[in-house]
A and B are shown apart, each in its own frame.
Chain A
Amino acid sequence: MTEPTIPAATIPPEPPPVRNAEFKAAMLLVLMFVLVVGSVLYLMYARGAFESTQRLVLQADDSDGVSVGMDVTFAGFPIGRVRSIELGADGKARILVDVPRKDAHWLRTTSIFTLERGLVGGAKLRAFTGLPTDPPLPDGAARALLVGDAGAEIPHLLSAAKDLLQNLTALTATDSALDASLHNVEGVTGKLNGPSGAMGLIAGDDKEAQKLLARANQLVTTMNELAHKTDSLIGNADRRVFGKDGVMTDTQATIVQLNGLLADARASLKKMDAVLIEAQAVGANAREASADLGSLRAEVESNLRHVEQLVNEINRKWPFKHDTEIKLP
């Protein structure tokens, strides 16, 4: 058997030599070096290798759902990272958390730490600080972890739902109060549909219902008579009020008289008006007169002063002048 020979045409030619091959290869090597070193540095930074941290120990009965590397959040912002989880000497899980020192001021001695397990997604470690003025959390502090578990609520919820369903079943059973009530309602509606209708329902049995019906009939008759009487009463009243010699006719005459009276009153008022004008004139005169009276009084007063001076003069000159001087002993 001969060896299979390959025709020379199928032998691919050697690729052409690459120019500056060493330089290009060096560039490629540098590119890869930069990428790899950059990625490593970035991942180290992302995992917090360059941060100075302080240690926080969270103690919980059950660390289910907590994983190494998960975040501890404060107000939704990650401020720490779970470094490791270990079982303590007291049988409690110890979750060791690294908190970067630049974020550590959010945690105070009174801070609360919770572990929440939702129905969807992983567990969440959260920190809450009520009093931001409290002293800051020291390095290596150990705190209890409060566990809030949506999954743990499900059995309670199921038992509550079961109770509720049992109550509902008891309520709707054949000999239950609701059933009896519904039966009564059925009887009532049956009576309502029966020959005596709602009256039978109110009166109880049929005999009573008929009595009641008869009385009701009497009542209606009486009411009818009463209505007739009222009708005639209204007729009489109409006659008395609006008939010939009725109240309304008298009233009309009175109104006519009243009209005349009012016209007289208007004339009297006009006269009164004139009198008032006169009085006004009198008043004006009186005012003038009183002005004159003022000047008159001034004159009288000056005359009186003259008279007084005269009297004084006469008294001085009078020879029989009384000696008014009082002599003391």
Chain B
Amino acid sequence: MAWLGTWWRLLHFAVLIVATALTPASYGGTHRPALARRIVIAAAPNLLWFTVLSALVSLVLIRIVVVTALSYGLSRFALEMVVRVLVLELIPLTAALFVALRSTLPAGVEFAQQRGAGGLYPGTTINSAALLHSEFFPRVAAGMFAVWLLAAVSCVLTLVLAYLSLYGFTPWALQGYTRVVGQVFDPSVALILVLKVVFFSVAVGLIPMASSYYDGIGSRLRATHGLSDMVRLFSLILLIEVASLMGNYY
């Protein structure tokens, strides 16, 4: 039952965050600097490294797919496979995991520790609604935004790399390439991709913050708290991925 309780609290927190997100006051005035700072902290350091890493992995995978397809005489299907495997499946998943491991999970543990130690606004007592606006919402929004940005950058980069490694530096294959990409991204596939990235970002942004919102001050040991967040996050990401695969291929 405790397990069910945590998921219920997660849902409750999600609703609170959505309500905050729909409040214009969350983006203006006093909250804007904090939001901007969180977004920069979550997205900027990861952007360069993730772009480099995803470009390398993409190049290796593109090469493997192209060479294998060529050896079976199926090279005209190589591009479609590259786009499907990398852009539709691997890159969003990797972006979500990267942001979770590098940014939101550590930040969640960190934040919970600060709260637990009373390091946050020492000497003052503030209600949870104000805390939601000033501390939780910027962190959640920054995590979500980081997933979107990383996924968008690396998807576009992978499309460019796929073109370059298949055809080289020539503009003449662009029309055929565009046609294949257009065939892969039919409306349902594009919608599933967008939904998948959105759900990944929601999971990555919300789960690490949700537990520290409810756990309050020192209810459990912080180490187990971070671990259970991670397990919850990964299981949710797995579920989303499975759902997207079923949507795409069944």
Contacts and interface: CB of A to CB of B under 8 A. Distances in A.
Do A and B bind?
A: yes
Interface in B138-188: 145, 148-149, 152-153, 155-156, 176, 178-179, 181-183, 185-186
Contacts, number: 97
Interface of A: 3-6, 8, 10-12, 14-15, 17-18, 21-22, 24-26, 28-29, 31-32, 35-36, 38-39, 42-43, 45-48, 68-71, 78, 120-121
A78 B181 CA distance: 14
A69 to B, nearest CB: 5
Given A24-B40, A39-B156, A47-B182, 9 more contacts: A5-B218, A6-B218, A11-B117, A14-B114, A35-B149, A35-B153, A43-B190, A45-B182, A69-B182
Interface residues of B, number: 39
B39 A43 contact: no
8 nearest A-B residue pairs (beta carbon): A46-B182, A25-B36, A22-B36, A21-B37, A35-B152, A21-B36, A25-B39, A47-B182
Contact of A36 (B44, B110, B152, B183): B152
Contact of A28 (B32, B113, B145): B145
A48 to B, nearest CB: 7
Nearest to B221: A4
Residue from A8, A10, A17, A22 whose CB has the most chain B CB atoms within 10 Å: A22
A25 to B, nearest CB: 4
Given A11-B114, A21-B33, A69 B43 contact: no
Given A11-B119, A69-B186, A21 B152 contact: no
Interface string B45-87: 0010000000000000000000000000010110000000000
Given A21-B40, A35-B152, A6 B116 contact: yes
B117 A8 contact: yes
Contacts of A45: 178, 182
A28 B43 contact: yes
B35 A25 contact: yes
B182 A24 contact: no
A120 B222 CA distance: 57
29 contacts: A3-B218, A6-B218, A6-B222, A11-B114, A11-B117, A12-B110, A12-B113, A14-B114, A14-B119, A15-B41, A18-B36, A18-B40, A24-B40, A26-B36, A28-B43, A28-B44, A28-B47, A31-B149, A32-B148, A35-B149, A39-B152, A39-B156, A43-B181, A46-B178, A47-B186, A69-B183, A69-B186, A70-B183, A121-B77
Contacts of A5: 218
Nearest to B187: A47
Nearest to A44: B182
Contacts of B110: 12
Interface string B215-233: 0001001100000000000
Given A12-B113, A46-B182, A68-B186, A32 B152 contact: yes
Contact of B37 (A17, A35, A70, A120): A17
Contacts of A43: 181-182, 185, 190
Contacts of B190: 43
Given A21-B37, A25-B36, A32-B148, A46 B179 contact: yes
Interface string B172-211: 0000101101110110001000000000000000000000
Contacts of A78: 176, 179
A322 B113 CA distance: 184
B88 to A, nearest CB: 12
Contacts of B117: 6, 8, 11
B145 A32 contact: yes
A32 B40 contact: no
A69 B179 CA distance: 10
Contacts of B221: 4
Nearest to A17: B37
Contacts of A17: 37
B162 to A, nearest CB: 14
Contacts of A24: 36, 40, 44
B148 to A, nearest CB: 6
Interface string B22-41: 00000000001101110111
Contacts of B44: 24, 28
Nearest to A40: B190
A301 B19 CA distance: 158
Contacts of B178: 42, 45-46
B124 to A, nearest CB: 16
A81 to B, nearest CB: 8
